[in-house]
């Protein structure tokens, strides 16, 4: 199956930069998450999701990023989101940030599908079939 790519953009804000004059590396993880949320929204989903009387959350179990070029204030990055793997309980997304055709950064995030219990406790569960279908409906 060919998986078309979800694409959005992100404009760098002043508060995203650090004293090196470039985007602070930790912020790319916020950018990935925001792109993931946009991707999910385009499928009627979210990272905080009411689901058949329960609440689902997707805490992260792994995140990584490679930085190829610095990004700077007012840069408008193109962000692509791909599902790289859907396991029984987890999803792995791949992200690519680029500008003027040059890759700025590449990252990935793995989340686990969880029921959100009282007091913010989290219990991993298999991804519901209907949700899995929507994730794949790209």
Footprint of a second copy on this chain (CB under 8 A)? 13-15, 17-22, 24-27, 29-30, 33-34, 37, 41, 46-48, 57, 59-68, 70, 72-74, 116, 119-120, 122
Residue nearer to a second copy on the CB measure, 28 or 131: 28
Give me the least distance between CB of 121 and a second copy, in Å please: 9
Give me the least distance between CB of 115 and a second copy, in Å please: 12
Spacing of C-alpha 99 from chain mean position: 19
Give me the least distance between CB of 99 and a second copy, in Å please: 16
Nearest-CA neighbor of 63 among 25, 29, 26, 98? 29
CA distance 10 to 79: 7
Spacing of C-alpha 130 from chain mean position: 20
CA distance 95 to 5: 10
Residue nearer to a second copy on the CB measure, 3 or 9: 9
């Amino acid at each position: 199956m060919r998986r078309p790519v979800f694409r959005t953009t992100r404009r760098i804000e002043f508060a995203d930069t650090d004293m090196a004059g470039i985007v602070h590396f930790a912020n790319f993880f916020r950018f990935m998450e925001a792109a993931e949320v946009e991707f999910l929204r385009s499928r009627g989903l979210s990272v905080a999701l009411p689901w058949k009387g329960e609440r689902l959350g997707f805490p992260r179990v792994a995140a990584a990023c490679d930085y190829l070029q610095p990004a700077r204030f007012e840069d408008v990055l193109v962000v692509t989101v791909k599902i790289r793997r859907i396991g029984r309980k987890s999803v792995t997304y791949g992200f690519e940030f680029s500008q003027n055709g040059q890759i700025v950064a590449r990252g990935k995030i793995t989340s686990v599908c969880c029921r959100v219990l009282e007091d913010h406790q989290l219990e991993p569960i298999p991804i519901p079939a209907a949700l899995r279908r929507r994730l794949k409906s790209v």
